[in-house]
């Protein structure tokens, strides 16, 4: 990668500002001053220093956010705040994107990364990665619903869903449930409940594959995944 691109990506200034930095002799690669913005470096194997301090480079960033309601799961939006807007600039420089979408009003676990390969594997319909949601439903959820979901239900567009595992946590005039599905159709959880004549009034994603929402994260907060969590995700195979 070009040295000017590397430094600009890491937030050390615009390409123009980085060029000035280089010209000033502040940047060294393996103890040799580099002034040429076009010089290529391999930040994985070479040490790059700025005013004597090694720059911290990593190729990939993996973040877990507890998505708050009211923000969009996208990198850009003309009207609304996005989950990327909630990130610190030092994280935004890695150009991460959300892995899949949660509706604007949905809360909970959102993985944000710049690892396209991992994102692709987690989102591929062929992989059937299970996602578990907690939801509040506007009326009584019954054993018939559990059975219907276990067979799959027909959505408003005629699509027959794959089986979903529905657990009733509390049933009443409002019910608390957990639902695990292995697909990611548009508004899937809400539309599955519509298919049985009920409405989701609150929705939170609790897990995605092996990744569980860190309950210590407040809404809108995020943290880097641990090395262990990254390994779990990379090695994840649905059985
Ligand atoms: N299903 C929905 O209906 N909405 C979400 O945000 C996620 C799953």
Give the CATH number for residue 21: 3.10.290.10
Give the distance from CA 235 to its chain's centroid: 17
> Is 173 within 8 Å of 122 (Cβ atoms)?
no
104 lines ligand 1 (CB under 6 A): no
Cα–Cα distance, 156 to 191 (Å, whole number): 7
Question: What tokens were used for 11?
Answer: 């937030």
> Is 29 within 8 Å of 3 (Cβ atoms)?
yes
Alpha helices in 56-142 (DSSP H): 89-92, 116-123
Cα–Cα distance, 84 to 32 (Å, whole number): 36
Specify whether 167 is located in the same domain as 220.
no
pLDDT tens digit sequence for 90-138: 888 888 999 999 999 999 999 999 999 999 999 988 889 999 999 999 9
Q: pTM value? A: 0.86
Specify the residue with its C-alpha closest to ligand 1, atom 3.
Answer: 187
DSSP for residue 85? G
Return the ligand 1 atom nearest residue 200 CA: 3
Cβ–Cβ contacts within 10 Å for residue 53, how many?
Answer: 8
Look up the CATH number of the domain holding residue 178.
Answer: 3.30.70.1560
Specify whether 135 is located in the same domain as 81.
no
> Is 39 within 8 Å of 7 (Cβ atoms)?
no
By residue range, what is the domain housing residue 165? 131-208
187 lines ligand 1 (CB under 6 A): yes
Distances (CA, A) of 87 to 98, 113, 223: 12, 12, 10
- The residue-averaged pLDDT of 70-83 equals 96
Specify whether 199 is located in the same domain as 217.
no
pLDDT tens digit sequence for 26-42: 999 999 999 999 999 98
Count of domains for the chain? 3
Phi, psi angles (nearest 5°) of residue 175: -125, 145
Catalytic residue among 4, 91, 103, 138: 103
């Amino acid at each position: 990668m070009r040295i000017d691109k590397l430094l600009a990506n890491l937030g050390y200034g615009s390409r123009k500002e980085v060029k000035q930095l280089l010209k000033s002799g502040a940047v060294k690669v393996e103890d040799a001053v580099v002034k040429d913005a076009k010089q290529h470096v391999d930040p994985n194997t070479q040490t790059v220093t700025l005013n004597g301090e090694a720059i911290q480079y990593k190729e990939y960033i993996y973040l877990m956010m507890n998505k708050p309601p009211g923000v969009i799961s996208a990198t850009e939006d003309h009207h609304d705040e996005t989950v990327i807007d909630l990130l610190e600039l030092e994280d935004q420089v890695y150009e991460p994107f959300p892995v899949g979408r949660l509706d604007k009003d949905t809360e909970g676990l959102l993985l944000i990364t710049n690892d396209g390969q991992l994102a692709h594997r987690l989102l591929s319909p062929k992989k059937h990665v299970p996602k578990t949601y907690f939801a509040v439903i506007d009326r009584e959820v019954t054993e018939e619903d559990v059975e219907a979901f276990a067979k799959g239900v027909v959505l408003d567009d005629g699509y027959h869903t794959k089986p979903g595992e529905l657990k009733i946590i509390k049933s009443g005039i409002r019910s608390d449930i957990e639902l695990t599905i292995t697909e990611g159709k548009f508004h899937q959880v809400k539309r599955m409940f519509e298919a049985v004549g009920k409405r989701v009034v609150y929705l939170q994603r609790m897990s995605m594959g092996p990744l569980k929402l860190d309950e210590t994260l407040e809404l809108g907060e995020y943290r880097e995944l641990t090395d262990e969590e990254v390994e779990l995700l990379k090695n994840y195979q649905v059985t």
